Chains A and B, each alone.
Chain A
Amino acid sequence: CEKFLDIEPTGNSIFIEERGDTIFRTANEAEAALSAVYGDFQNEYWQLDWLVNGDAQSDDAYAGADNPSNFQIDDYRIVATNSNVSRDWAYLYQTIGKANLLINNVEVTPDASFSEQRKKEIKGEASFVRAVMYFEAVQLWGDVPLQLKEVTSVSAAELDEIYPQLYPERKPMAEVYEQIIADLEYALANVKTTQPHKGFATKGAANAYLAKVYATIEPKDYNKVVEYCDAVIAGGYSLLPEFDMLWNNENENSPESIFEVNYAGTASDANWGSSMFRGTDWKKFNIPSNDLVKAFDDENDMIRKNASISFEDVTGKWSDANWPANSYPFMNKYRIITWPSPQNYILVRLADIILLKAEALNELGDVNGAAQLVNQIRGRADLPDTQASTQEAMRLAIEKERRLELAFEGKRWFDLKRTGRAIEVINNAIGPDGNKFGYNLTQNGLLWPIPQSELDKNELLTQNPGY
């Protein structure tokens, strides 16, 4: 009768048979788990929300569509029960957890054919991904819990040991950034220089993220920014000759691209996100703002405007207070909206790093060096050289350049936050009638609330001010 009651699952493998077993039994299992870590770049956060957070949350785009959570984010009216806020928290940490499993266990995999070098590479790639996720989280929420270990089983016997992991407290931003830097440095030392495509961690990608991190932490370390930007620039990347070549989908994983989420365009490996932003079948997300269109027009920057925004006639489909239906703007950088879409997303590219270096040089007092780099970017867009000659003017010139160059690449909100300009810039954004749109962003609005659902289950968590 005991045998009659022994039934094991046939649809899923058992994670650990007995306490003390290794997590991975073979190299192949570790590789498959690494695949799942990268696979998370295809989850909802990286298909949809990263662009909502970076662009709809800025003065570049309106929320669009019909989701109250997005409206709250667009209008800086976020309540701690906002569902995007809670799901983004969960998405980022899910990936962190998957990475933790590899970082902490890959080296003890008992498989003779599994080389030590490959183990280190895998650990490095997982460390890179963990750093990327923490970098998103720390920018959105400020102090966040540092989960660095995995939990494999929850039983009464182990509860005391794992309780702090189940219900962690927030760690100061500085400590989180320390971990991010350590992870990126480990990645830099151990991952490959080149990979089959740009969707994997490389030394170049690790350098690029290190540059971004040093430009974001307080206090900023502009020498480090320059150092890592230079390492990227020297790492075999180059700008594509024409701006639109980045977006015409004929140059996936181009020399300009540093880290790029790849989609094969098969049913199990498709980008549904791009069809959330374009198409006339229903009112889409992230509708380009009047303020952004004006910025392109003021600069007479038609090459990048046309590559970034397309206007369509949606008369009879829907109406909108911000734009006339007969000339309704859509994001234009992600253009393949057929299903299953192979549309790739570029998360980091060289132009971003060049402008970041310009910013660092300018802050270090090298206005001319900065101008050269800005002009390199402007030249590709057939725009005249920048007129900025003072450090002050150059700051604004770089800010504008980043906005026009990197529109709808999920950068704007984080750039404005990083430079401390968000409140001033966003509250002065113009609306459809040319007057102020009427955003009311306050200091507290720069950080998201800790999700109420997290506070409810973990009493060690504290809420950010204003929520």
Chain B
Amino acid sequence: QGRPLTGKVTDAGGQGLPGVTVLIKGTATGTTTDINGNYSLNVENGKTLVFSFMGFVSQEIIYSGQGVINITLAEDSKLLDEVVVVGYGVQRKKDITTAVAVVDDKALKDRPIVTVAQALQGKAAGVQVTQPSGKPGSGLAVRVRGATSVLAGNEPAYIVDGIRTTDINGLNPNDIESMTILKDASAAAIYGAAAANGVVLITTKRGSADKPVISFNTYFGFSTLRKNIDVLNTRQYRDLMNDIGIAYDPTWTRFGDWTDETFGTGYQQSYQASFSGGNEKSRYFVSGGYLTEQGMVKPARFDRYTFRMNLDNEIRSWFKLKTSLSAWTIDSKDTPDNASSGRGGVIMSALNTPPFLNVYKQDGSGWFDPNPFQPSWENPVAYMQGPDQLTRDNKVLGTVEAEINLAKGLKFRSSAGADITSHRWDYYLDPLRTNYGRQNNGIGQSDNSNHMVIQIENLFDYTVKTGEHTISALVGNTLIKYEGRGTYIEGKDFPEDTNVKDLWAANQISTGGTWHNANSSVSFFGRLNYDFGGRYYATFSFRRDGSSKLVNKWRTMPGVSAGYRLSSAPFMQKFTFIDDLKIRGGYGVTGNFQGLSDQAAFALWSYYRRDPTDPLSGPGIYQLSYGNPDLKWETTRQTNLGLDLTMFDGKVLFTFDAYHKQTVDVLLNVQLTSSLPVSSILTNAGEIINKGLEFSLNTVNIDNRELNWTTEFNLSFNKNEVANLKYTPVYYFGSIYSNNEFASRVKVGDPLGTFYGYVSEGVNPETGDIMYKDVNNNGIFDPGDRTVIGYGMPKVTFGFTNNLVYKDFSLNLFFQGSYGNDIFNATRIDLEGMFDSKNQSVAVLDRWTPENPNTDIPRAVGGGNVDNVRNSTRFIEDGSYLRLKSATLSYNVLKNNAKVSFVKNLAIYVTAQNLFTITNYSGFDPEVNAYGNSAVEVGIDYGTYPQSRTFVFGVNVEF
């Protein structure tokens, strides 16, 4: 039975390690060390002993008959030291007891990313990112564990190097070191009223005390339309007009393809340089960049100039100064979309404009060729090139933080930060070329605003370790003050010279004004972390926030979480393939008042301009709003249970989380009867519940000298439900222009983003009209026949990344998609309605006629009759998709090559974005929303600027 063996296992510091597994290799026999690290067992000669403990490098020893074997285990730095940025500090990854997801610079490096939010897409379970349109610079919708709010915003809070900001569109992805997403409330509660939608902590790169590094990245790319929609040619169009009964001039025989005129090739270019370095006392990171993205549909473009300077100085041994400063300018031009062809929508106009028209009138007048059926319906080129407009956004975002070591383990940190932005939009429509321009003899608008947020923060941080007890505590406060000012002006009747675009030259000023807004908040927060021997964890946090926006200003939000390292339990020791297993749970309360206007609590008078009285007595006045002294912020209570599992020497990492998120006091504009002068009141009147499961699995599949293959897979299920609505039982959203009906409904029992409408029972073979189901069985067609017809929110979203490295080549394949969501394809209303002179898609070639009675396309009805294109199941399509979002192949040309010593690294790569998409959706693209990042109008397609397919070639070089 072997000989008795005893010994002690210690760490590098000589401390006994409890719970270390001591196993005879190839058997199930073994033991674990006691509280002091001692063990004893019987071993036969020649057997191999394996000492393993989570967070330490395992050791094997061949037993040769000794009585005592003492072992010192080395810490596995890879596992142990990996730290994660959390609220107001960092934590070792293995100690975390809340649901956080980390997206590091690897995810950003592998492909050309324009905005930071793109980097989050498909990379973290429970974080759903959708790009509602393919327009350059268009915002993304980021949802952490579903939507909790109707009005107050659903975007997470972004904290960049400690300062809260609302806009990260200008942040240079190349500057980002890591992003931590605090998903559950126990993690986010320390951010209180900012945190109901999760918190994204963005940490930018800083210098290190190594050799200075110069790096330069550039890429060039082009983008094209992924998929077209075919419309009628001139002959087919003429036949349709005859069927409708619209007089058609036989000389209109020209054929022009408006989609060719509209969808061109877009370009991207990016130049980024950074310099970093320093010594023990002071370090720097400086970067600058220029990026331009020109859309495939003109004139959309996005030009960004960025600058960053991050400095770290150790002025005294006890005093450190940390400066983070960034500035950017974004110039952008818009291509109007999500609108009908009669109301300026370029995409709809590309599809709906009669095919016989020219771009310009052929008489030298300089007019865009007027639509003979309705001259205000301009062709797409007129909408694209008619107006001259530019938006310029500037931002300076910076903090200076002082860190003072007061005593051993006790630090004081104080920071002052500012987020200063300016916005300007200028618009000019010349008096000649377009119908609208001629009507107004030129029209100009300008909008100018400045915003400043000042943030002052102080906190104490104390850590003490005695024996196996580690306690760290943190208390602090934050003051935030926002102030914004703006001006707007509109004028018409311009000089003939179309080079003169400034509004001072407008003969008539139609309107003008200024505005001023301010709000402030005060917060106190604290947190206590307790760690017992790396096995038991508990965290308590609280935040007390006060806001100037409310009458009841103050609210306290607690958070609590606990974790247990299950892998340290004795019974787990036989599962030797498990490196680490931790179970954790938490509960927390967070708030949301993003959507509250600064004056939301007040009853106000408003003004209107009237003819001056004699003597002057000011504008006319009327009641604007009801006061609401009871107004509160939205409160989200979230429970989270999760586990983190590491197996096979770190080759398999699995994380699972389940959550229940209850948002009460949801802010709603309660619809009072319109028989009052103010027909709505902002109040707390709803409850929304999100429930979900999240899985993420990261594996190292092959890892040898030649080939390394890793995959990251994440899968999220979220179920959203409106649990309660007070006062108003139902709200409608998403008015569709052509039929004037609402596409979405908010009602108790349904998720947000529910489609509402009639049930189409196909075309009546006798009349050629759509038959709608008499849902309420009252014998007539009426609005009571509307019912739930689809769901815009997906049941499941997923992301799947493969990294293959073979010698100097590497391949990154990133798949992403959603399942179980519907799309309301309102574009088809204007493409298959046949109610007026709009050109239609080729689907209408199969329209009902007495000769073609059995079809699913109704008759050409004309006369503006939209009865066949009511919001109905006819336009609901499955929006599930799987797409290869990005595929990158890169090659390391030089890597620490001694022959070319001045170049440290040189890599070239090619990336294809949206290379393929698997979907049944018939529109341009299934990743779409005409209502941008709205939470209640989801998955509506109405002439939305589609996603493009992009190819990018890039070079990264380091000196």
Q: Which residues of A contact B (CB under 8 A)?
A: 1-2, 4-16, 28-29, 31-33, 35-36, 39, 63, 66-69, 71, 75, 77, 79-83, 86, 89-90, 93-98, 100-101, 144-145, 147, 150-156, 165-168, 264, 266-269, 279-283, 316-321, 325, 339-340, 451-454, 456-459, 461, 466-467
- Distance to closest chain A CB from B37 (angstroms): 51
Across the two chains, which residue of chain B brings its CB closest to A170? B675
Asked if A457 contacts B728 (CB within 8 A), the reply is yes
- Distance to closest chain A CB from B219 (angstroms): 45
Cβ of B264 under 8 Å from chain A: no
Which residues of the partner chain B approach A6 to less than 8 Å between Cβ atoms? Answer: 548
Bound Cα distance from A14 to B629, whole angstroms: 13
Asked if A165 contacts B676 (CB within 8 A), the reply is yes
Across the two chains, which residue of chain A brings its CB closest to B603? A15
Interface size for B (C-beta < 8 A) is 96
Cβ of B553 under 8 Å from chain A: yes
Which residues of the partner chain A approach B697 to less than 8 Å between Cβ atoms? Answer: none
Which residues of chain B in 925-954 are interfacial with respect to chain A, using CB atoms and an 8 Å cutoff? none
Across the two chains, which residue of chain A brings its CB closest to B479? A4
Which residues of the partner chain A approach B681 to less than 8 Å between Cβ atoms? Answer: 154
Bound Cα distance from A316 to B362, whole angstroms: 13
Bound Cα distance from A9 to B735, whole angstroms: 32
- Stretch among B102-110, B148-156, B506-514 lining the A interface: B506-514
Which residues of the partner chain B approach A281 to less than 8 Å between Cβ atoms? Answer: 375-376, 435, 438-439
- Stretch among B555-563, B583-591, B619-627 lining the A interface: B619-627
Interface residue from B613, B674, B738 paired with A453 (Cβ < 8 Å): B674
Interface residue from B515, B608, B675 paired with A11 (Cβ < 8 Å): B515
Bound Cα distance from A100 to B675, whole angstroms: 12
- Distance to closest chain A CB from B198 (angstroms): 26
Bound Cα distance from A14 to B675, whole angstroms: 23
Asked if B548 contacts A7 (CB within 8 A), the reply is yes
Bound Cα distance from A66 to B625, whole angstroms: 34
Asked if A12 contacts B370 (CB within 8 A), the reply is no
Asked if A79 contacts B519 (CB within 8 A), the reply is no
User: Can you list 27 residue pairs at the A/B interface with Cβ under 8 Å?
Assistant: A5-B547, A5-B548, A7-B519, A9-B599, A11-B517, A28-B617, A29-B621, A31-B613, A66-B342, A67-B740, A80-B782, A81-B783, A95-B677, A144-B675, A153-B628, A155-B630, A156-B630, A166-B672, A167-B673, A168-B675, A282-B376, A283-B374, A317-B375, A319-B246, A453-B732, A457-B728, A466-B780
Known: A10-B516, A81-B741, A457-B729. A167 touches B672 (CB 8 A): yes
Asked if A467 contacts B782 (CB within 8 A), the reply is yes
- Distance to closest chain B CB from A66 (angstroms): 6
Bound Cα distance from A262 to B739, whole angstroms: 34
Across the two chains, which residue of chain A brings its CB closest to B674? A90
Cβ of B426 under 8 Å from chain A: no
Asked if A97 contacts B553 (CB within 8 A), the reply is no
Which residues of the partner chain A approach B440 to less than 8 Å between Cβ atoms? Answer: 339
Asked if A168 contacts B678 (CB within 8 A), the reply is no
Bound Cα distance from A426 to B742, whole angstroms: 31
Bound Cα distance from A153 to B435, whole angstroms: 46
Asked if B683 contacts A154 (CB within 8 A), the reply is yes
Asked if A264 contacts B611 (CB within 8 A), the reply is yes
Which residues of the partner chain B approach A317 to less than 8 Å between Cβ atoms? Answer: 370, 372, 375
- Distance to closest chain A CB from B640 (angstroms): 32
Which residues of chain B in 746-775 are interfacial with respect to chain A, using CB atoms and an 8 Å cutoff? none
Cβ of B59 under 8 Å from chain A: no
Asked if B740 contacts A153 (CB within 8 A), the reply is no
Across the two chains, which residue of chain A brings its CB closest to B439? A281
Which residues of the partner chain B approach A339 to less than 8 Å between Cβ atoms? Answer: 439-440, 492-493, 508
Asked if A71 contacts B864 (CB within 8 A), the reply is yes
- Distance to closest chain B CB from A169 (angstroms): 10
Asked if B679 contacts A90 (CB within 8 A), the reply is yes
Asked if A267 contacts B508 (CB within 8 A), the reply is yes
Asked if A147 contacts B676 (CB within 8 A), the reply is yes
Across the two chains, which residue of chain B brings its CB closest to A5? B548
16 more A-B contacts (CB under 8 A) besides A32-B617, A90-B679, A454-B675? A5-B521, A7-B518, A10-B516, A10-B518, A12-B604, A93-B675, A155-B627, A166-B673, A168-B675, A269-B609, A283-B374, A316-B370, A321-B247, A456-B728, A457-B672, A467-B783
Cβ of B409 under 8 Å from chain A: no
- Distance to closest chain B CB from A162 (angstroms): 9
Bound Cα distance from A167 to B728, whole angstroms: 10
Which residues of the partner chain A approach B864 to less than 8 Å between Cβ atoms? Answer: 63, 66-68, 71
Asked if A32 contacts B621 (CB within 8 A), the reply is yes
Across the two chains, which residue of chain A brings its CB closest to B747? A456
Which residues of the partner chain A approach B481 to less than 8 Å between Cβ atoms? Answer: 4
Which residues of the partner chain A approach B863 to less than 8 Å between Cβ atoms? Answer: 71, 321
Asked if B620 contacts A32 (CB within 8 A), the reply is yes
Asked if A321 contacts B674 (CB within 8 A), the reply is no
- Distance to closest chain B CB from A46 (angstroms): 14
Which residues of the partner chain A approach B742 to less than 8 Å between Cβ atoms? Answer: 81
Asked if B671 contacts A457 (CB within 8 A), the reply is yes
Interface residue from A28, A68, A95, A101 paired with B739 (Cβ < 8 Å): A68
Asked if B627 contacts A321 (CB within 8 A), the reply is no
B373, B613, B622, B629: residue with the most chain A Cβ atoms closer than 10 Å: B622
Which residues of the partner chain A approach B624 to less than 8 Å between Cβ atoms? Answer: 12, 15
Q: Which 9 A-B pairs have the closest CB atoms?
A: A97-B677, A268-B609, A282-B376, A15-B603, A35-B620, A90-B674, A36-B620, A36-B622, A12-B604
Which residues of the partner chain B approach A8 to less than 8 Å between Cβ atoms? Answer: 602
Interface residue from B516, B518, B740 paired with A68 (Cβ < 8 Å): B740
Which residues of the partner chain B approach A95 to less than 8 Å between Cβ atoms? Answer: 677
- Distance to closest chain B CB from A454 (angstroms): 6
Interface residue from B377, B623, B671 paired with A101 (Cβ < 8 Å): B623
Bound Cα distance from A458 to B674, whole angstroms: 10
- Distance to closest chain A CB from B673 (angstroms): 5
Cβ of B57 under 8 Å from chain A: no
Cβ of B67 under 8 Å from chain A: no
Bound Cα distance from A144 to B673, whole angstroms: 12
Bound Cα distance from A39 to B621, whole angstroms: 10
Asked if B599 contacts A12 (CB within 8 A), the reply is yes
Which residues of the partner chain B approach A39 to less than 8 Å between Cβ atoms? Answer: 608, 610, 620, 622
- Distance to closest chain A CB from B949 (angstroms): 35
Across the two chains, which residue of chain A brings its CB closest to B342? A66
Bound Cα distance from A200 to B603, whole angstroms: 29
Bound Cα distance from A227 to B956, whole angstroms: 93
Q: Map CB proximity to A onto B511-549 as digits: 1 under 8 Å, 0 otherwise.
A: 100011111111000000000000000000000001110
Across the two chains, which residue of chain A brings its CB closest to B631? A155
Which residues of the partner chain A approach B604 to less than 8 Å between Cβ atoms? Answer: 9, 12-15
Across the two chains, which residue of chain A brings its CB closest to B614? A196
A6, A11, A144, A152: residue with the most chain B Cβ atoms closer than 10 Å: A11
Asked if A33 contacts B620 (CB within 8 A), the reply is yes
Known: A4-B520, A152-B626, A456-B730. A32 touches B618 (CB 8 A): yes
Which residues of the partner chain B approach A321 to less than 8 Å between Cβ atoms? Answer: 245-247, 862-863
A31, A319, A320, A466: residue with the most chain B Cβ atoms closer than 10 Å: A319
Cβ of B6 under 8 Å from chain A: no
Bound Cα distance from A101 to B621, whole angstroms: 11
- Distance to closest chain B CB from A241 (angstroms): 30
Asked if A13 contacts B605 (CB within 8 A), the reply is yes
Which residues of the partner chain B approach A457 to less than 8 Å between Cβ atoms? Answer: 671-673, 727-730
- Distance to closest chain B CB from A433 (angstroms): 12
- Distance to closest chain A CB from B615 (angstroms): 10
Known: A145-B675, A318-B373. A325 touches B247 (CB 8 A): yes
Bound Cα distance from A190 to B865, whole angstroms: 49
Which residues of the partner chain B approach A316 to less than 8 Å between Cβ atoms? Answer: 370, 372
Bound Cα distance from A165 to B678, whole angstroms: 12
Known: A32-B621, A66-B374. A147 touches B675 (CB 8 A): yes
Across the two chains, which residue of chain B brings its CB closest to A267? B510
Which residues of the partner chain A approach B738 to less than 8 Å between Cβ atoms? Answer: 68
Cβ of B897 under 8 Å from chain A: no
Which residues of the partner chain B approach A10 to less than 8 Å between Cβ atoms? Answer: 516, 518
Which residues of the partner chain B approach A15 to less than 8 Å between Cβ atoms? Answer: 602-605, 623-625, 627
